[in-house]
């Protein structure tokens, strides 16, 4: 329904209600007033006629005031609806942009971790860098249930012990792990000195890796 139709409908509804309230059903009050009017003297008729004209004018002005008040209400509701629609479209566009970014992130993780097995990866890298590795353990971790990544990506905690390693070699090994572009990052490190040896240390490394769920 157009705004014009809404205005016409509202005006017609209120006009009909005012007419019934003034003249009664089937104009009963109007007939009674006309009958009473003709029973008055000429002077009384003139006074009543003037009062009636004034009352009719007041009622007409009131009806128009009510009509324009309803017009303003409808215009306000229309403006609010348009603003809400524009805001909804803005949020929808932002949501679609975030969905594209999320899909791109999942695709990137999938591409960089495809075919990755963490134990063979670390075994190969420690061998290349001359690092002794012991006690490698993996543990799958889920994201928080409210995190959208939880449905398609899992975290893997890798804990390993590296005994008797110098600080420069340790830092070089950690750097090579993170440079592998396999989404593996150092999460925690514990370094314990050896009695009587200031060059080598026993270390425990904890890495965080990612892979897509199958």
CA angle 176, 177, 182 (to 5 degrees): 120
pLDDT in the model for residue 22:
62
> pLDDT band for position 163 (50/70/90)?
very high
Q: Which of 172, 175, 171, 162 lies closest to 201, judged by CA? A: 162
Is pLDDT of 38 > 70?
Answer: no
Residue 4 has a pLDDT of 47
- The tokens describing 37, both together, are 């009017």
Q: Residues 182-197: what's their mean pLDDT? A: 88
Contacts of 15 (CB under 8 A, 6+ apart): 63
Q: Is residue 20 scored above 60 in pLDDT?
A: yes
**Tens digit of each residue's pLDDT (9 = 90 or more) over 78-97:** 888 888 888 888 888 888 88
Q: Tell me the average pLDDT across 183-189.
A: 92
pLDDT at 186: 94
User: Which carries the bigger pLDDT value, residue 69 or residue 131?
Assistant: 131
Confidence of residue 3 (pLDDT cuts 50, 70, 90): very low
The mean pLDDT of 29-58, rounded to a whole number, is 69
pLDDT in tens, 23-32: 666 666 666 6
The residue ranking higher by pLDDT, 168 or 75, is 168
């Amino acid at each position: 329904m157009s705004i014009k139709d809404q205005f016409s409908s509202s005006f017609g509804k209120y006009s009909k209600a005012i007419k019934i309230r003034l003249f009664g059903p089937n104009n009963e009050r109007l007939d009674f007033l006309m009958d009473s009017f003709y029973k008055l003297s000429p002077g009384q008729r003139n006074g009543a006629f003037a009062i009636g004209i004034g009352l009719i004018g007041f009622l007409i002005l009131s009806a128009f005031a009510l009509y324009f008040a309803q017009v303003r209400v409808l215009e306000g509701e229309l403006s609010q609806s348009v603003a809400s629609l524009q805001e909804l479209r803005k949020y929808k566009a932002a949501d679609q942009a975030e969905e594209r970014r999320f899909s791109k992130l999942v695709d990137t993780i999938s591409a960089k971790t495809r075919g990755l097995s963490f134990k063979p990866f670390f075994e190969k890298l420690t061998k290349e860098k001359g690092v002794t590795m012991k006690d490698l353990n993996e543990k799958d971790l889920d994201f928080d249930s409210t995190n959208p990544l939880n449905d398609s990506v899992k975290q893997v905690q890798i804990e390993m012990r590296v005994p008797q390693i110098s600080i420069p070699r340790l830092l070089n090994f950690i750097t090579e792990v993170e440079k592998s572009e396999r989404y593996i990052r150092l999460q925690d490190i514990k370094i314990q000195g050896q009695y009587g040896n200031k060059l080598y240390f026993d270390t425990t490394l904890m890495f965080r890796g990612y892979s897509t769920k199958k």
